[in-house]
Amino acid sequence: MFGLKFLAVMRRDLKKLMRNPVTLLSVIMMPILYLVIIGNSFQGQLKHLPIVVVDQDHGLYARRIVEQMLALQAGPKTVDITFENDPGAAMNEVRDGLFKGVVVIPPDFSHAVAEGRIAQIGLFTDNVDEISSETLEGALDQAAATVKIAFVTAREPKLNEISLRPNWLFPYVDYDRSLIPGVIVMAIFMGSLMSGVFNWVMDQFMGVTEGYLVTPLSRWDIAGGILASGVTVTSTAGVLVLFLGLLITRGRILGGPVALAMLVGIIVISATGLLAMTFALLGRAGHPRLVGTFAGFLNVILFFPSGAIYPVESFPPWLRAFAHVNPETHSVSAIKQILFKGADFAAVSGDIAFLLVFMVLTLVIASFSFKRTM
């Protein structure tokens, strides 16, 4: 029988959670820290890549290449240049990890350019560090292109040049801001683990549960109360993270109060689904340590394939298939569309339908797996 007694269980759980502000704060602050750390470690141009330039030509075009590279050093600070004469020694220094690459301008480079022959510059990179290597290639391409364009311009008109003018459909979203949906979902996930199922398993472990099982509380009262307190705490954490994230990244919600209401709704549905899921998976865990262990594992396997960090389209087919049934993917997708695109209900109805089905399914499984007896 599901009566109002579940409110007493909820009150008890909420009071207990409120008396642990460190736990509550960590549910909010940890995802925010993730936002700051991931935002700053995954994005941005590489800078100060140490490279060696060996100019064996010293001709006009070699000087232009070197000037372009010095400009990269002075302007965007992509590279830190050291000049050397011996290409062999320079390559050994790359092997030793002192430099990220060597640029070798061969002796007849300027002549070749001037005569219209194929002129090549050698770039030897530490390709183990693929990202640095690709950045260096890009930088050198840019330097070489400048020389080539100048050269081409002098001899023939730019008849076939095609220019691309990008047009954005939506307001600019930088990488930091683009992480907000993922960070909200992470806060929901962490809240769902730290409130609902963890409290239940810990109470059982401490023997506290026995005192409640001898009262007239039904299993629905107990499960409902724990779930309700978990949803309250977790949803509040999710909404706070939304606002803090927007504050940090100086963003705003497109679509005003209606969009905000939809966002809160999605947060509540996601929180309920994830709480029920963790109950279904861990409600019968024999030890709180199991909850802790699985928490880290579940967080990784649900968060990273959710499209929060990198687009789902880039995944291999098997991971893409998993992402499509991952509730966090749909939460991230719905929040992203409403928050950044000002999408209406119809645009996110697919994601919301998935989240609702997931919520109902996990609630049913959790209710079956929840035991009232010892």
**Residues forming the site for other proteins (CB under 8 A):** 3, 5, 7-9, 11-12, 15-16, 19-20, 204-218, 221, 285-287, 289-290, 373-374
DSSP 149-168: HHHHHHHS---S--------
CB 10 to other proteins: min, Å: 10
How is residue 220 written in tokens?
Answer: 């629905």
Residues 6+ apart with CB under 8 A from 276: 227, 359, 362, 363, 365, 366
- Residues 300 and 282: their CA atoms lie apart, in Å, by 17
Nearer to other proteins, 16 or 63 (CB): 16
Nearer to other proteins, 57 or 221 (CB): 221
Burial of residue 164 (number of CB atoms within 10 Å: 0-12, 13-18, 19+): exposed
Nearer to other proteins, 289 or 324 (CB): 289
CB 8 to other proteins: min, Å: 4
Nearer to other proteins, 5 or 100 (CB): 5
CB 2 to other proteins: min, Å: 13
Nearer to other proteins, 125 or 195 (CB): 195
CB 271 to other proteins: min, Å: 22
- Alpha-carbon distances of 205 from 209, 217, 226, 294, rounded to whole Å: 8, 20, 16, 17
Rounded-to-10 torsion of CA 51, 52, 57, 62: 20
CB 198 to other proteins: min, Å: 14
Residues 290, 205: contact at Cβ < 8 Å?
Answer: no
